[in-house]
Amino acid sequence: MDSPGYNCFVDKDKMNAAIQDLGPKELSWTELQELKQLAREGFWAQSHTLRGRVYQRLIRDIPCRTVTPDASVYSDIVGKIVGKHSSSSLPLPEFVDNTQVPSYCLNARGEGAVRKILLCIANQFPDISFCPALPAVVALLLHYSIDEAECFEKACRILACNDPSKKLIDQSFLAFESSCMTFGDLVNKYCQAAHKLMVAVSEDVLQVYSDWQRWLFGELPLNYFARVFDVFLVEGYKVLYRVALAILKFFHKVRAGQPLESDNVKQDIRMFVKDIAKTVSPEKLLEKAFAIRLFSRKEIHLLQMANEKALKQKGITVKQKRQFVHLAVHAENFRSEIVSVKEMRDIWSWVPERFALCQPLLLFSSLQHGYSLTRFFFQCEGHEPTLLLIRTTQKEVCGAYLSTDWSERNKFGGKLSFFGTGECFVFRLQPEVQRYEWVVIKHPELTKPTSFMSSETSTPSPLSHSVPSDPADRLSPFLAARHFNLPSKTESMFMAGGNDCLIIGGGGGQALYIDGDLNRGRTGHCDTFNNQPLCSENFHIAAVEAWGFQDPDTQ
């Protein structure tokens, strides 16, 4: 068998050791219709030549800006930009944020070529302000390109993609940071055990999650990263979330109950990813990734946009030092009749990332404002989201995170009606901690996306990725019930309130029911959250509190 046609940038010995080449295969046009399955199965993973051809074809088909730099542009500008400098001493563009170029199986010439290509990209894309993933992408593509110019053209086409439904690589700090927040939200919902560990061992869990792209673009060995990139080119950005979640699941499985190897969990995860071959094969990693039943692309887009909007409102559009999330609940000035500082910090770790940096603001206290539901609503209106806390006379503690302003209840003409979104959840703290999220999150089989949603397996309709002209102003709520074909309304009974009662969760029972005097309540299983009773099924209330989320800058 002939040896693979490696280019002059690849160390052949390293490459042969990293990815066994079983020779070229052909990929017929018919098979291209089944690219998603072929990519997941690794059809071209063990053929260097075929992988290069597939990358060329997939990247050529990316819809791009009218004027996108190609190989001829590289040939024209590289000499002027690089000059007489040694390629190994070339500085990296500022937008890579001091990210090192992963060598993978490149030789010294290849590593220098990556630097040259990055500098030429910076020259042609002055609008890129933050893109730490790019060195890894260019380094990978160089393994499968004929020369520097072809690699440059491939990277440029990925960066110049102008299809709003096909997000590929973050190119600004705002996009990068909102992706980190979105990943944190997904961990919170799909990797709760791992999230609990992260909260326990890290001062700032958001800082841990801000490293998620580095796990993929830098720490993963070449044979793993190339498999991820194969699927990424076919299916898009959502694949990256899937694989990073799978990595975190494996990390938790291996490290749960063991002392961390360092006092820095970020460093521990990086080391774990770098040595991931000791734990799981590329095939098992992808298998785990695609076993996670994630939200649709549309829902993830809405969550990403909500996080971007929150960052813009906070003025966070360029890189800056992030406040520790634990400090959002300050021990010295936090006072509650129901929960301790530690318990409030635990609750804070469950809330969506865009609110995690806010500080708790006491809106209502039954001991301060009286036992009146009318006063409760008056104090809470105008605040979104809110946190409801209840302590019973038996010293049980439970509550709910409520996504929507209580003033929404006034839109139904005095009729008791449900509203809210799938971000609502209920919980108990005493006698033991338990959180119950929207039933659809753990059981997506209950619903299928509506016609304007993109599904995981079907071809999107023309409306599936329509983006409003100003999404920040007309943003559809993340996990709004109207986005889903639910079997009945009982799966979307999030919150309701009237003169006589307040209800959280419905269908077959209520997660929480509180009377108008804030005196008595009851709890039971409900379809919306598929929860167990949050405390004694019939209880007397000792105290009720409602908390809002205050931006530190507005204090």
What tens digit of pLDDT does each residue of 443-459 get? 888 776 544 333 444 33
Biggest alpha carbon–alpha carbon distance for the chain: 84
Gap between the Cα atoms of 240 and 223, Å rounded: 16
Gap between the Cα atoms of 385 and 348, Å rounded: 12
Determine which of 146-160, 266-280, 295-309, 456-470 has the lowest per-residue pLDDT on average.
456-470
Across residues 271-293, what is the average pLDDT? 96
Query: Is residue 111 pLDDT above 60, yes or no?
Result: yes
Query: Is residue 473 pLDDT above 80, yes or no?
Result: no
Across residues 305-325, what is the average pLDDT? 74
CB 246 within 8 A of CB 289: yes
More confident residue, 460 or 52: 52
| Band (506; pLDDT cuts 50, 70, 90) | very high
For 214: left if phi > 0, alpha if psi spans -120 to 50, otherwise beta; the answer is: alpha
More confident residue, 15 or 551: 15
pLDDT of the residue at 460: 35
In the chain, the percentage of residues whose pLDDT exceeds 90 is 67
Residue 409: Cβ within 10 Å count: 21
CB 447 within 8 A of CB 486: yes
pLDDT of the residue at 207: 87
| Band (261; pLDDT cuts 50, 70, 90) | low
Across residues 483-506, what is the average pLDDT? 91
- pLDDT tens digit sequence for 71-85: 999 999 999 998 877
For 78: left if phi > 0, alpha if psi spans -120 to 50, otherwise beta; the answer is: alpha
- pLDDT tens digit sequence for 401-428: 999 999 999 998 889 999 999 999 999 9
For 382: left if phi > 0, alpha if psi spans -120 to 50, otherwise beta; the answer is: left
pLDDT of the residue at 200: 84
Q: What angle do CA 103, 105, 111 make, to 5 degrees?
A: 40
pLDDT of the residue at 461: 31
Specify the length of the chain in residues: 555
Determine which of 213-222, 244-253, 262-271, 463-472 has the lowest per-residue pLDDT on average.
463-472
Gap between the Cα atoms of 209 and 307, Å rounded: 14
Query: Is residue 244 pLDDT above 60, yes or no?
Result: yes
Q: Helix, strand or coil for residue 427? A: strand
Determine which of 166-170, 215-219, 417-421 has the lowest per-residue pLDDT on average.
166-170
| Band (264; pLDDT cuts 50, 70, 90) | confident
What's the mean pLDDT when you consider all of the chain?
88
- Is this prediction's pTM over 0.85? yes
Residue 207: Cβ within 10 Å count: 16
pLDDT of the residue at 554: 57
Q: What angle do CA 139, 142, 146 make, to 5 degrees?
A: 175
- pLDDT tens digit sequence for 1-30: 345 668 899 999 999 899 888 876 777 766
pLDDT of the residue at 242: 97
Give every CB contact of residue 233 below 8 A, 6+ residues apart in sequence: 39, 55, 58, 59
pLDDT of the residue at 319: 66
Residue type, 359: Q
Query: Is residue 521 pLDDT above 50, yes or no?
Result: yes
- pLDDT tens digit sequence for 363-373: 999 999 999 99
